[in-house]
Amino acid sequence: MQHLSRRGLIAAGFALSGFAPASRIVPELVLHNGRVWTVDPLQPEAQAIAIAGGRILAVGSDADVLAMAGPSTRKLDLGGKRVTPGFNDAHAHPCESGVQHLRQVACDKASIAEIQSALRERAARTAPGQWVMGFLYDDGKTPRPLSRADLDAAVPDRPVVVRHRGGHTIFVNSQALKAAGIDESTPNPPGGQYDRAEGRLTGRVADLATDPIDKLTTYKPTRDDYREGAALISRMFNKRGVTSACDALGFPDTLQGYQDARDAGTLSMRVYCHVWHEALPRLMEAGLHTGFGDERLRLGAVKLMADGSISERSAWLKDAYLDMPGDYHGLQVQKREELVEFARKAHAGGWQIGVHANGDLAIDEVVGVFEQLQKEHPRPDPRFRLEHCTMVTPELVGRIKAVGALPITFGGYVYFHGDVMHFYGRERTERMFAMKSFLDAGVKAASSSDYTASPSDPMMWIQSQTTRKGMDGQVWGASQRIGRAQAVECATMNGAFASYEEALKGSLSAGKLADLVVWEQDMMAVPAEALVEVQVQRAMVGGAWAYEA
> What count of other Cβ atoms lies within 10 Å of the Cβ of residue 156?
12
Asked if residue 120 and residue 66 are part of one domain, the reply reads no
Residue 247 covered by a domain: no
| Per-residue pLDDT reduced to its tens digit, 398-418 | 999 999 999 999 999 999 999
Q: Of 161, 196, 214, which residue sits at a domain end?
A: 214
Asked if residue 82 and residue 109 are part of one domain, the reply reads no
Q: Of 188, 214, 240, which residue sits at a domain end?
A: 214
> What count of other Cβ atoms lies within 10 Å of the Cβ of residue 260?
18
Q: Which H helix or E strand runs over 170? A: strand 169-172
Per the CB < 8 A criterion, the answer to whether 25 and 65 are in contact is no
Give the CB-side neighbour count of residue 463, counting CA atoms within 13 A: 23
Distance of CA 459 to the CA centre of its chain: 14
Q: Of 193, 214, 235, which residue sits at a domain end?
A: 214
The yes-or-no verdict on residue 282 having pLDDT over 60 is: yes
Mean pLDDT value of segment 50-59: 98
Asked if residue 112 and residue 56 are part of one domain, the reply reads no
Residue 42 covered by a domain: yes
Provide the domain count of the chain: 2
Asked if residue 158 and residue 179 are part of one domain, the reply reads yes
Which pLDDT band holds residue 25 (cuts at 50, 70, 90)?
A: confident
**Given this model, what pLDDT does residue 219 score?**
73
Residue 126 covered by a domain: yes
| Per-residue pLDDT reduced to its tens digit, 480-509 | 999 999 999 999 999 999 999 999 999 999
Mean pLDDT value of segment 513-527: 98
Residue 395 covered by a domain: no
Residue 323 covered by a domain: no
| Per-residue pLDDT reduced to its tens digit, 290-304 | 999 999 999 999 999
Rounded to whole angstroms, how far apart are CA atoms 373 and 367? 10
Asked if residue 72 and residue 148 are part of one domain, the reply reads no
Which DSSP string corresponds to 54-99? TEEEEEE-HHHHHTT--TT-EEEE-TT-EEEEPEEEEEE-HHHHHH
Asked if residue 133 and residue 178 are part of one domain, the reply reads yes
Residue 179 covered by a domain: yes
**Given this model, what pLDDT does residue 140 score?**
87
Asked if residue 155 and residue 113 are part of one domain, the reply reads yes
Asked if residue 130 and residue 49 are part of one domain, the reply reads no
The yes-or-no verdict on residue 3 having pLDDT over 90 is: no
Asked if residue 101 and residue 82 are part of one domain, the reply reads no
Asked if residue 111 and residue 4 are part of one domain, the reply reads no
Which DSSP string corresponds to 241-290? TEEEEEEEEE-HHHHHHHHHHHHHT---SEEEEEEEGGGHHHHHHTT--T
The yes-or-no verdict on residue 66 having pLDDT over 80 is: yes
Give the CATH number for residue 524: 2.30.40.10
| Per-residue pLDDT reduced to its tens digit, 121-138 | 999 998 888 999 999 999
Which pLDDT band holds residue 20 (cuts at 50, 70, 90)?
A: very low
Per the CB < 8 A criterion, the answer to whether 361 and 389 are in contact is no
Tell me the CA end-to-end span of the chain in Å, nearest whole number: 29
Q: To the nearest whole number, what is the mean pLDDT of the chain? A: 94
Give the CATH number for residue 110: 3.10.310.70
Residue 469 covered by a domain: no
Asked if residue 68 and residue 104 are part of one domain, the reply reads no
Asked if residue 144 and residue 108 are part of one domain, the reply reads yes
Mean pLDDT value of segment 313-327: 94
Residue 252 covered by a domain: no
- What is the length of the chain? 549
| Per-residue pLDDT reduced to its tens digit, 160-209 | 999 999 888 999 999 999 999 999 999 999 999 999 999 999 999 999 99
- Domain range for 13: 1-86+506-549
